[in-house]
Amino acid sequence: MSRIRYLLAVVAVGALLAGCGGRVESEGSAVDRDQAVDLDASVLGPPQDPVALIGLWTVAEADGGAGDVLRLGSAPGDGLRLFGRCGAHMGTWRADVNGLFVADLWGTSGPGDGRDCQPGPEPADTWLHHAVAFRVEADGPVLLDDRGGRVARLLAGAKPTPGPDTLASLAEPPEVTDEARRAFAPAAALPAALTLASRKSLLGRWMPVDGRRGGPKAAYVELRADGGWRGSDGCNGQGGRWVAGPGGALLATDGVSTLIGCDNLPVGTWLASARRAGLDGDVLVLLDAQGKETGRLRRDR
């Protein structure tokens, strides 16, 4: 992709983030908190192998997505591609041994194949954003919603046709590497000094605990009940999706950000690199897979 095309994509995503923000209720409303559902054993079941999700899959049994092809690449850096009727969508995904799953789409490359391509909801607004968990069954992985209902079944053997703006390698099965296995290894346990955070307690708008702004605007992260998050590093709008589970498990995706330079605070990176979250009093502590703190945030009252 040329630099001009890349910059246009960044501008488009920035506009999308701004537009999405207008549809979201403000943090802390009674409606938001009543919608929060903790994922427990009744949904997640026994431990799962997230490495088993890496591959090229035909999407089945998905509302509005049946017949599309989903490529879940080796993490980190390989990302997600959804080859659909109206183009190839780009995004990111996360999964862990608890059976948590989260995915987000942040861009589209090229036209589709013309199969019933009609204006309508993007996949991000339909089946994919309902998937918060997974289970590996004998005939392939199944993506689940927060009640344990099936969102989609993934069938092996898919062969997408890349468009003119898609690298041919992205239509090939991804390689399961040792790096990928390490990336999906179980995270360190939450330190005993921290309190387990429920999904409801994570909802809301959080700011750096030291009070730094990070730029002309205040740096913040807002975790929403619809599974999305938005924020700012003090200059640039950011956003993605998140899911929380047992033992303080936390997974979040990060999409394309605007590129304004400033003395920023990378609160979005703190969130996206976290694997666990806990509370130290009223302070939210984010930790990576090795148990190292990525950031501390306080609730914006």
Taking phi first (over 0 means left), then psi (-120 to 50 degrees means alpha), and beta for anything else, what does residue 45 get?
Answer: left
Q: What is the pLDDT of residue 171?
A: 81
- CATH of the structural domain 3-35+188-299, one choice from 3.40.50, 1.10.287, 1.20.1050, 2.40.128: 2.40.128
Please check whether residue 133 is in contact with residue 43, taking contact to mean a CB–CB distance below 8 angstroms: yes
Q: Where in the chain is the domain with CATH 2.40.128?
A: 3-35+188-299, 43-183
Q: What is the pLDDT of residue 122?
A: 55
What is the rounded distance in angstroms from the CA atom of residue 136 to the CA atom of residue 30?
A: 36
Architecture label for domain 43-183? Beta Barrel (2.40)
Q: What is the pLDDT of residue 297?
A: 97
Q: What is the pLDDT of residue 35?
A: 52
Q: What is the pLDDT of residue 289?
A: 96
Q: What is the pLDDT of residue 259?
A: 56
**Total residue count of the chain as it appears in this document:** 301
Which parts of the chain register pLDDT below 50?
Answer: 1-31, 33-34, 112-115, 119
Give 64's Cβ-side CA count (13 Å radius).
16
Average pLDDT of every residue of the chain: 81
Q: What is the pLDDT of residue 117?
A: 57
| Residue for token pair 């991804």 | 174
Q: What is the pLDDT of residue 78?
A: 73
Q: What is the pLDDT of residue 109?
A: 66
Q: What is the pLDDT of residue 29?
A: 37
Q: What is the pLDDT of residue 33?
A: 47
Taking phi first (over 0 means left), then psi (-120 to 50 degrees means alpha), and beta for anything else, what does residue 116 get?
Answer: left
pTM of the model: 0.83
Q: What is the pLDDT of residue 111?
A: 54
